[in-house]
Amino acid sequence: MQNTIKKPTLTLAIAGTILMSACNQTAPKSNTSMTDSTTTTAAATLPAAAGFEKTIDGKPTKLYILKNKNGVEAGITNYGGTLVGLLVPDKDGKLTDVVVGFDGIEGFQKAAGSYYGATIGRYGNRIAKGKFTLDGKQYSIFTNNGANTLHGGKKGFDANVWDAKQVDSTTLELTYLSKDMEEGYPGNLNVKITYKLTDDNELKISYEATTDKNTVVNLTNHSYFNLNGAGSGTNLEHLVQIDADGYTPVDTTLIPTGKIEPVKGTPFDFTTPTTIGARIEEDNAQIKAGGGYDHNYVLNKHDISKPIATVIGDKSGIKMEVFTEEPGLQFYTGNFMQGKNTILGGKKDDHRTAFAMETQHYPDSPNQPNFPSTVLKPGAVYKTQTIYKFSVK
C-alpha cells in the first residue's frame, strides 16, 4: 500500500455495519416464512435529544441533527460516532427511518456487541486470533469474537466519546485520538470523520487519519438498514445488486481463507438484481458458515464514479446506492439478530430485519499478504469516503 491509504467516505444520498453477526457465534434458526409487520402510516421522527445528553468517561454526549433542503434528516451522536437515525422519503413522500437505532444512549450501550450505526475502528471486521506482525514485531489485541478480534477489540471506536463540532446544518465533524497501544494497536492515531448530508439526498462519510508510528487502520460505519422502515419486518424481499465478481470465502470462525473466489454459479452472485431471501437458505458451506450472508465482496470498481451496490425496499420503493473508494464491501443480512433489543418505535430487532453494507479493506488483511495493505505510516494520510444515496424507484 502506498503512503496515502484511501479509505471509505460514507455518503448517504436519499433519493427517495459489521455487525451483530460479528459478535455472536451461533445464528438463530432461519425463518423465511416470517411475514413482515405492517408499517405505521405516520411519518417517522428522530429520537428526542434528551436521551443522548449523558456523561461517559468524563465526556459529554449529545445528539446532533443534520437537515437538507428536502426535509431529509440524519441523527448522529458523538458516542461511538453513531448514526442514530436517517429519515428519507418513500415512494409516497412519507419520511421513513431507514436505520435501526434506539431512543437514547442506554440502548446503544446495551446492544454494544451489535455495533448499531457505529463508527468502527481501529480495525473494522476480524483479525485472526487477535494477532498480527508489523515491522517484524508481533502485536496482540483483545479477542472478543471467539478466538478472533472483531471491530477493534474490547473497547473499539464504537464505545468511545468523540469530540464534536457541528459546522453547519448539514455537516458534523468528529475527532478522536486513539493513543499508542490502545487495544494493543501501535501509534497515536488522530482520526477525523465528517458526516455531510447533501441536497442530493446523500449521506457522505469521510474518514481521515494520521499516525506517529506504523500501524494498521480499517475504518467503516456499521449501520443496519431496512429500507421499508426500521422495525417493519424482514429484509428478505429487498432487491440487491453488488458490482463484484468475487468474494473472500471464510473458515468456520468467519476468517478469510486467503482465497478470492468467483461469485458466478453461487448464492453470492448479486451481479444482477436479486432478493436477499432468494438463495439465503441454500445448501452451501459458506452460507452455513455465516448463517446467511456475512461476507466480504471484492468490488470491481471503487472510485466514487458509480455505485458499487444498490438496494431497493420492496414496500417503500426507497432506493439506496452505495459509493466507495474502498476495495471491499461486507454484506451482512442480520443473521445474528435475535430480537433481544427494543429499537426506536418500540419494535424488536428480530432475525434478519435489517442488513449492513460496510465499505472496507478486507478482513484479516494484516495477516493476508495477498490482500490490499492496511498499513498506515507516519507522514501519510488515511483518507477515504463512502456515500449512501437515497431516492425512490
Q: What is the pLDDT along the chain (393 residues), one digit of tens a residue?
A: 444 444 444 344 433 333 333 444 334 444 433 344 444 458 899 999 999 999 999 999 999 999 999 999 999 999 999 999 999 999 999 999 999 999 999 999 999 889 999 999 999 999 999 999 999 999 999 999 999 999 999 999 999 999 999 999 999 999 999 999 999 999 999 999 999 999 999 999 999 999 999 999 999 999 999 999 999 999 999 999 999 999 999 999 999 999 999 999 999 999 999 999 999 999 999 999 999 999 999 999 878 999 999 999 999 999 999 999 999 999 999 999 999 999 999 999 999 999 999 999 999 999 999 999 999 999 999 999 999 999 998
Across-strand partners of 384?
Answer: 207
Query: What pLDDT, on the 0 to 100 scale, is given for residue 301?
Result: 85
d(CA 280, CA 271): 16
Residues 172 and 65: their CA atoms lie apart, in Å, by: 9
Element (H, E) at 22: helix 19-22
* Catalytic residue set: 222, 358
pLDDT at 42: 81
Phi/psi for 321 (5° steps) reads -110, 140
CA pair distance 48, 65, nearest whole angstrom: 11
Q: Phi and psi (nearest 5°) for 338? A: -130, 10
Report the residue count for the chain: 393
What is the DSSP code string of 254-293?
A: S-B-S--EE-TTSTT--SS-EEGGGSTTSS-HHHHHHTS-
Residues forming a β-bridge with 319:
312, 391
Domain ranges of the chain: 5-29+38-235+294-305+316-392
Q: Which residues contact 347 (CB under 8 A, 6 or more apart)?
A: 37, 230, 231
Per-residue confidence (pLDDT) for residue 2, from 0 to 100? 40
* 306 DSSP 8-state letter: S
Distance CA 333, CA 292 (A): 7
Residue 41: what pLDDT?
59
Residue 34 cell numbers, joined: 416470517
DSSP class of residue 297 equals E
Q: What is the pLDDT of residue 162?
A: 98
Question: Can you give the pLDDT at residue 111?
Answer: 94
Which pLDDT does position 222 carry in this prediction?
Answer: 98
Q: What class is the 5-29+38-235+294-305+316-392 domain?
A: mainly beta
Phi–psi pair at 371, nearest 5 degrees:
-90, 155
Taking the CA atoms of the chain, what radius of gyration do you get in angstroms?
19
Listed in sequence order, the DSSP H helices in 4-137 are: 19-22, 105-110
